[in-house]
Amino acid sequence: MTQGFDTLAIHAGTAPDAATGARQVPIYQTTAYVFRDSDHAAKLFNLQEVGYIYSRLTNPTVSALANRVAALEGGAGAVACSSGHAAQLMALFPLMAPGCNVVASTKLYGGTIQQFTNTIRKFGWSAKLVDFDDPKAIAAAIDDNTRALFCETICNPGGAISDLDAIARVANHAGLPLIVDNTTATPYLCRPIEHGATLVVHSATKYLTGNGTVTGGIVVDSGKFDWSASGKFPSLSEPEPAYHGLTFHAALGAMAFTFHSIAVGLRDLGMTMNPQGAHYTLMGIETLSLRMQRHVENAQTVAEWLEADPRVEFVTYPGLKSSPYHSLAKMIVPKGAGGLFTFAMKGGYDACVKFVDNLKLFSHVANLGDTRSLVIHSASTTHRQLSDEQRVAAGAGPNVVRLSIGIEDVRDIIADLDQALTAATA
Calculated CA dihedral for residues 404, 408, 413, 416, nearest 10 degrees: -110
Helix axes 348-358, 410-425, angle to 10 degrees: 130
CA pair distance 272, 57, nearest whole angstrom: 7
Q: Which residue has the higher pLDDT, 46 or 325?
A: 325
Tell me, what's the pLDDT at 1?
67
Tell me, what's the pLDDT at 398?
82
The torsion angles phi and psi of 155, rounded to 5 degrees, stand at -75, 135
In this structure, are 275 and 294 located in the same domain?
Answer: no
In this structure, are 225 and 301 located in the same domain?
Answer: no
- 89 - beta bridge partners? none
In this structure, are 274 and 353 located in the same domain?
Answer: no
Could you give the residue ranges of the DSSP H alpha helices within 217-371?
Answer: 234-237, 248-252, 256-260, 267-269, 275-285, 288-307, 326-332, 348-358
Query: Cα(first)–Cα(last) distance of the chain, in Å?
Result: 60
Query: What mean pLDDT do residues 315-324 have?
Result: 97
CATH number, residue 322? 3.90.1150.10
Band of pLDDT at residue 393, cut at 50, 70 and 90:
low
Residue 119 per-residue DSSP state: G
CATH number, residue 92? 3.40.640.10
Tell me, what's the pLDDT at 102?
98
Query: What mean pLDDT do residues 245-257 have?
Result: 96
3-class state of residue 308 by DSSP: coil
In this structure, are 273 and 324 located in the same domain?
Answer: no
Contact (Cβ atoms closer than 8 angstroms) between residue 324 and residue 330: no
What percentage of the chain exceeds 90 in pLDDT? 85
In this structure, are 38 and 174 located in the same domain?
Answer: yes
CA pair distance 118, 110, nearest whole angstrom: 12
Between 11-15, 68-72, 407-411, the lowest mean confidence (pLDDT) is in: 11-15
In this structure, are 310 and 399 located in the same domain?
Answer: yes
The torsion angles phi and psi of 40, rounded to 5 degrees, stand at -60, -45
Q: What are the tens digits of pLDDT across the range 154-191? A: 999 889 999 999 999 999 999 999 999 999 999 999 99
Q: Which residue has the higher pLDDT, 332 or 244?
A: 332
- 217 - beta bridge partners? 81, 203
Q: What are the tens digits of pLDDT across the range 356-378? A: 999 999 999 989 999 999 999 87
Q: How many domains does the chain have?
A: 2
Boundary (domain end) residue, out of 248, 264, 284: 284
Query: For residue 16, what are the contacts with CB-CB under 8 A and spacing of at least 6?
Result: 22, 23
In this structure, are 326 and 279 located in the same domain?
Answer: no
Q: For residue 200, what are the CA distances in angstroms to 174, 196, 197, 205, 315? A: 19, 10, 7, 15, 28
CA pair distance 74, 70, nearest whole angstrom: 6
- Whole-model pTM: value is 0.94
**Quick check: bond before 157 cis, omega within 30?**
yes
Boundary (domain end) residue, out of 258, 284, 310: 284
What percentage of the chain exceeds 70 in pLDDT? 97
Boundary (domain end) residue, out of 232, 249, 284: 284
Asked if the model's pLDDT at residue 258 lies above 90, the reply is yes
Q: For residue 108, what are the CA distances in angstroms to 160, 238, 248? A: 10, 33, 31
Tell me, what's the pLDDT at 385?
66
Q: What are the tens digits of pLDDT across the range 90-99? A: 999 999 999 9
The torsion angles phi and psi of 424, rounded to 5 degrees, stand at -75, -25
Mean pLDDT of the chain: 94
CA pair distance 275, 60, nearest whole angstrom: 8
Q: Residue 137 CB: number of other CB atoms within 10 A?
A: 15
Tell me, what's the pLDDT at 150?
98
Contact (Cβ atoms closer than 8 angstroms) between residue 216 and residue 281: yes
Query: What mean pLDDT do residues 204-212 have?
Result: 96
Query: For residue 1, what are the contacts with CB-CB under 8 A and spacing of at least 6?
Result: none
Tell me, what's the pLDDT at 386?
67
Burial classification of residue 290, based on how many CB atoms lie within 10 Å of its CB (0-12 exposed, 13-18 middle, 19 or more buried): middle
Domain range for residue 293? 288-425
Contact (Cβ atoms closer than 8 angstroms) between residue 227 and residue 233: yes
Give the max Cα distance, the chain.
75
Asked if the model's pLDDT at residue 101 lies above 80, the reply is yes
H or E element at residue 180: strand 178-181
In this structure, are 156 and 244 located in the same domain?
Answer: yes
In this structure, are 311 and 247 located in the same domain?
Answer: no
In this structure, are 308 and 182 located in the same domain?
Answer: no
In this structure, are 185 and 155 located in the same domain?
Answer: yes
CA pair distance 201, 181, nearest whole angstrom: 5
In this structure, are 261 and 299 located in the same domain?
Answer: no
Tell me, what's the pLDDT at 383?
62
CA pair distance 396, 377, nearest whole angstrom: 8
CA pair distance 423, 42, nearest whole angstrom: 67
